[in-house]
Amino acid sequence: MTMLDRMRRHRDWLKWSLGLVCVAFVLFYIPDFLRGSGADAASGDTIAKVEGREITSGEFRRTYQAQLQAYRSAYGANMSEQLLKQLGIEQQILQQMVDERAALAEADRLGIQTSDEEVRTRIVTMPAFQENGAFIGDVRYQQLLRMQRPPLTPADFEDNVRNSLTVEKLRAALTDWLSVPDNELEREYRRRNDKVKLAVVSLTSDSFRAQVQASDADVTGYFEAHKDAFKIPEKRKIRYLLIDIDAIRTKTIVPSADVERSYNNSIEQYTTPEQVRASHILLKTEGKDDATVKAKAEALLKLARAGADFADLAKKNSEDTDSAKNGGDLDYFGRGRMVPEFDQAVFAMQAGQISDLVKTQYGYHIIKLVDKKNATTRTLAEVRQQITDQLAYERAQVQAADLAQTLEKQISKPADLDKVGKAQGLTPQESGFFAHDEPILGLGPSPEAANKAFQMKQGEVSGALRASRGFVFETLVATQEPYIPKVEEVKDKVREEVVRQKARDLSNQKAADMAAKLKTAADFEKAAKAAGVEAKTTDLIARDSPIPDLGVAPAVEDAAFALAVGAVSDPIATDTGTAVIKVLEKKEVTSEEWTTAKDRFREELQSDRRNRFFSAYMTKAKLKMKIDVNRETLQRAVS
């Protein structure tokens, strides 16, 4: 973690401590204005139940709104709620909450509990609640909780800590036995950290396409030799009734008063707070004589104020290694992102000004203010259309979900699609044949509808299914069994494959001819240029790094790390053609580097493997659990 990160995290103490304690299962809270609003009227409704443990609409909405705010803080106001919904953010959040309940249920099953004493011990040892190495006391602890928006009660916070500790204990009980042998640990570390520098000649298949042709005889011959590759999979055809959210949205009228209310309630979304851009030089005091550090800082301050290049001073002297390499630049940040002493000093400065020495828990800082941006708020006129569109979309989703729930009680056989559809002004449609992984005509990509179609028998009718365009009821009308097609049916596809293969063969041939010359050439790059191609040089790269014109190419990597420095490879087949490489330099992990990194890497690798084991274990455990999700209530909660 960088010094800048630590500075920011110390100031934003509650989020940091919650993140540390609760890991992925932290519960978030919504702003005060949402409490008691009409939107929260059904906060007690159950969205999901995991082994009897409920997830209520209110709990979900708190987490959902906090997640939206997190995205907006990270990506700005352009990250709209509608876009996030299209990306399925509500499903991800619900899954996270279901996973939490499932982990707690599994802990109960295994008899894993967390005592009041353990909760208390965790809280009093949190850095956020300590001062000079001691707990700040119950009075200040409760004051800090009340300062949050909305205020946190000790009971809520402590329940959250208890759940998190229980999950930690479950994870430990299931995974602490996992370890990594030393020889495997070192092998994996070297695999990840050994580096190589290459000169790369890439001959792509596409560059040879114009030089090859595929005759009818070529197409027929290739097809006869590879019939199974062109087998047509099972396909199905459905008849469906669609509740189209977009169609409802276009008819939805959003009153101006609602737009204004939404704007006022979400004004922070449209406000960019005051920001500054600063550079700093940090001299750490931890483990050092304070007076000596201060004297050095004062000497640097005099140089900076005398006109010395601040960026150069930072690069040579700052002990914040992350920002030092950038001349001390901290980029833009708002109030509250740094520790209080730093924050107070920098926001009192003017652009171009250099501060006095600023003492923080990390040491002495010299700050230069580079730029200052005043707070701005986009007007209602500027965002009216955006809000109107978002509210219309949300209301259309609610109307569609309500209608789907109503129709679900009325549709039980195929004929009901026509009868009910006519009553609602909806017309059933037929899809045409589609494979399991193909989009459905008229619906687009709709995995839930496609999956159901391949599970149904003719005459059955589904309940309401979520599709990319809304909600759909479907019935299976026909099945097409898999078969080997005649060549005429797939002629274009076969021809494309023949051309691709011929172009690739030609690139292999060209590369083989070239490699023979490049291996004996005194100058690899000049020899490549003489052959009409360009040799591109990489930086020192580790495995799994992209290579110019090739992207991530495992076969090239394998050859590169196997060759000696100065050696030239044989032609290497890639996904896009053929490559020839020369190894220019190698940087292998030294024994000293490995010794230094060993303990940290063991912790990292073991943590990764334990996480994957725990995830796999919980996936299986959840198969035995009763997990119910009410999609309609979920839809209301996000609208």
Q: Residue 273's pLDDT is what?
A: 81
Assess whether pLDDT exceeds 90 at residue 638.
no
What residues form DSSP beta bridges with 199? Answer: 537, 582
What residues form DSSP beta bridges with 238? Answer: 476
Q: Residue 118's pLDDT is what?
A: 95
Task: Specify the range with the lowest mean pLDDT, choosing from 88-92, 282-286, 329-333, 582-586.
Answer: 88-92
Q: Dump pLDDT digits (tens) for 490-503.
A: 999 999 999 999 99
Assess whether pLDDT exceeds 90 at residue 270.
no
User: Start-end ranges of CATH 3.10.50.40 in the chain?
Assistant: 274-374
Q: Residue 424: helix, strand or coil by DSSP?
A: helix
Other CB atoms closer than 10 Å to residue 291's CB: what's the count?
Answer: 9
Confidence of residue 333 (pLDDT cuts 50, 70, 90): confident
Assess whether pLDDT exceeds 90 at residue 206.
no
Rounded Cα distance, 109 and 50, in Å:
13
Instruction: Indicate the fold that domain 3-177+621-637 takes in CATH.
Output: Triger factor/SurA peptide-binding fold (1.10.4030)
Average pLDDT over residues 52-74: 78
Contact 459, 257 (CB under 8 A): no
What architecture does CATH give domain 235-262+380-480? Roll (3.10)
pLDDT cut 70: percent of the chain above it: 89
What residues form DSSP beta bridges with 239? Answer: 430, 475
Q: Residue 145's pLDDT is what?
A: 85
Task: Specify the range with the lowest mean pLDDT, choosing from 116-125, 155-164, 354-363, 630-639.
Answer: 630-639
Sole residue written with tokens 């978030």: 28
Rounded Cα distance, 44 and 54, in Å:
10
Q: Residue 608's pLDDT is what?
A: 93
pLDDT cut 90: percent of the chain above it: 60
What residues form DSSP beta bridges with 49? Answer: 54, 628
Confidence of residue 41 (pLDDT cuts 50, 70, 90): very low
Q: Residue 4's pLDDT is what?
A: 39
Task: Specify the range with the lowest mean pLDDT, choosing from 34-43, 119-128, 384-393.
Answer: 34-43
User: Start-end ranges of CATH 1.10.4030 in the chain?
Assistant: 3-177+621-637
Average pLDDT over residues 421-436: 94
Those residues with Cβ within 8 angstroms of residue 572's Cβ, 6 or more apart along the chain or in another chain: 553, 555, 556, 559, 578, 579, 580, 581
Confidence of residue 76 (pLDDT cuts 50, 70, 90): low
Tokens of 412: 């039980």
Other CB atoms closer than 10 Å to residue 41's CB: what's the count?
Answer: 11
Average pLDDT over residues 106-128: 93
Q: Residue 22's pLDDT is what?
A: 34
Tokens of 373: 């941006």
Task: Specify the range with the lowest mean pLDDT, choosing from 15-24, 82-91, 254-263.
Answer: 15-24
Assess whether pLDDT exceeds 50 at residue 367.
yes
Rounded Cα distance, 188 and 238, in Å:
50
Assess whether pLDDT exceeds 60 at residue 78.
no
Contact 374, 605 (CB under 8 A): no
Average pLDDT over residues 85-90: 74
Average pLDDT over residues 447-474: 92
List of E strands, 481-556: 535-537
Confidence of residue 148 (pLDDT cuts 50, 70, 90): low
Assess whether pLDDT exceeds 60 at residue 365.
yes
Instruction: Output 29 or 423, whichever has higher pLDDT.
Output: 423
Domain range 274-374, CATH class: alpha beta
Q: Dump pLDDT digits (tens) for 207-263.
A: 888 899 999 999 999 999 999 999 999 999 999 999 999 999 999 999 999 999 989
Assess whether pLDDT exceeds 70 at residue 40.
no
**This prediction's pTM:** 0.60
Q: Residue 436: helix, strand or coil by DSSP?
A: coil
Q: Residue 31's pLDDT is what?
A: 28
Assess whether pLDDT exceeds 80 at residue 605.
yes
Tokens of 101: 């309940």
Tokens of 337: 């992102």
Q: Dump pLDDT digits (tens) for 273-327.
A: 888 999 999 999 988 899 999 999 999 999 999 999 999 999 999 998 889 989 9
Those residues with Cβ within 8 angstroms of residue 80's Cβ, 6 or more apart along the chain or in another chain: 386, 390
Assess whether pLDDT exceeds 60 at residue 13.
no
Tokens of 587: 């940087």
Assess whether pLDDT exceeds 70 at residue 155.
yes
Q: Residue 629: helix, strand or coil by DSSP?
A: strand
**Mean pLDDT across the chain:** 86
The 46-50 sheet, strands edge to edge: 53-56, 46-50, 627-629
Rounded to whole angstroms, what are the CA distances from 413 to 242, 420, 423, 539? 16, 11, 16, 65
Average pLDDT over residues 117-121: 95
Assess whether pLDDT exceeds 90 at residue 173.
yes
Rounded Cα distance, 71 and 90, in Å:
13
Contact 202, 550 (CB under 8 A): yes
Task: Specify the range with the lowest mean pLDDT, choosing from 65-79, 324-338, 446-460.
Answer: 65-79
For the domain bounded by 195-231+489-587, which CATH number is listed?
3.10.50
Confidence of residue 329 (pLDDT cuts 50, 70, 90): very high
Assess whether pLDDT exceeds 50 at residue 16.
no
